Structure 1
Amino acid sequence: MNRLKATELIFDLIPLLDKKFVRPFENQFKPVLSPIQANVLAILKERKATMTELSSEMLISKQQMTPIIDKLVSQGFVQREYDNTDRRIIKISITPSGLNIIELLKEKTFTMLTEKVGHLDDQEVQRLINAINELQKIAGKLP
């Protein structure tokens, strides 16, 4: 019974988070980056990756990933790096421009989130912090 209730609550939480947080940020950044492009840059900020690795992590096909990478290359946010020993291996890496745009988006996102959290009283902020910490711990255990 409790597992079913937890499942229902998570199911109900997803559209709420999408409406309150995800879509407002996506709409602000659409002229610069699509959500998928932003996710790719976030991955590449941490490490270089092949198309196969990126498509696997993003849960999309390599055929779908190719135009995304092509667009990011044309914008100067990523670059293709060919392996010296095996030219078939191509790693995608973020460029300084890509790092700059990620930092700019991060700053704008923090500003928007700070504004949203600013509408809460101190007690609500503490409850939110506690709830998020718990959710992160528990979600980290899920397969």
Structure 2
Amino acid sequence: MDYRQTAETLFHLIPLLEKNFVRPVMQQSRLPLSPAQIRVLVRLSDKKGTTMTSLAKELVMSKQQMTPIVDKLVAENLVKREPDMEDRRIIHIVLTAAGYEMREKCKVETLAILQEKLSGLNDEDLTALHIALTDLYAVIHKIP
């Protein structure tokens, strides 16, 4: 298999995923958060949190863009800033209890919307999609 063919398939797949899954979830969501705020909550899954720099890098935006997003989440008591115990210059962004609750609401609502989108598939197609997505997930985690 050549890299170009795989890259071309991904090139065509990404907009389809955006159109068929990402956009509908964002449009149908009843949560009082922006898509960027939801992405931050979903990313902050571990207890120790992450730094602004790491968060911005992972979500592919600048720290300057990330700051107002985090500021709004702090104002809503969904995240908090905690200084690093070893180096007080480092600030970790950590989910609060309310942030965990909101993240769970996001997950429940997103899963409901996705399940509705998938309900038109027959069992054979649903099984094939599940296997393909599971394989894709495993392979993508190997990409540096």
Assess same fold via TM > 0.5: yes
How many residue pairs match? The answer is: 143
Shift of 1:56: 2.4
Q: Which amino acid aligns with 1:77?
A: L
Kept in 1, the 8 Å contact 2:31–2:106? The answer is: no
Identity over the aligned pairs, expressed in percent?
Answer: 44
Q: Which amino acid aligns with 2:80?
A: Q
RMSD of aligned Cα (Å)? 2.0
Distance 1:105 1:49 in 2: 20
- Gapped runs of 5+ residues in structure 2? none
Hey, what does 2:119 align to over in structure 1? Answer: 118
Which structure 1 residue ranges, 4+ long, deviate > 6 Å from structure 2?
none
User: Could you say what secondary structure the match of 2:11 adopts?
Assistant: helix
Larger relative helix fraction: 1
Hey, what does 1:43 align to over in structure 2? Answer: 43
Distance 1:85 1:109 in 2: 37
Q: Which amino acid aligns with 1:137?
A: A
Distance 2:113 2:85 in 1: 44
Distance 2:84 2:139 in 1: 40
User: Could you say what secondary structure the match of 1:45 adopts?
Assistant: coil
Q: Is 2:53 aligned against 1:52?
A: yes
Kept in 1, the 8 Å contact 2:28–2:113? The answer is: no
**TM-score of the two chains, using structure 2 as the length reference:** 0.86
Distance 1:75 1:84 in 2: 25
Cα offsets for 1:96-129 (capped at 9, x unmatched): 1111111111111111111122211111111111
**TM-score of the two chains, using structure 1 as the length reference:** 0.87
Q: Which moved more, 1:72-81 or 1:16-25?
A: 72-81
- Gapped runs of 5+ residues in structure 1? none
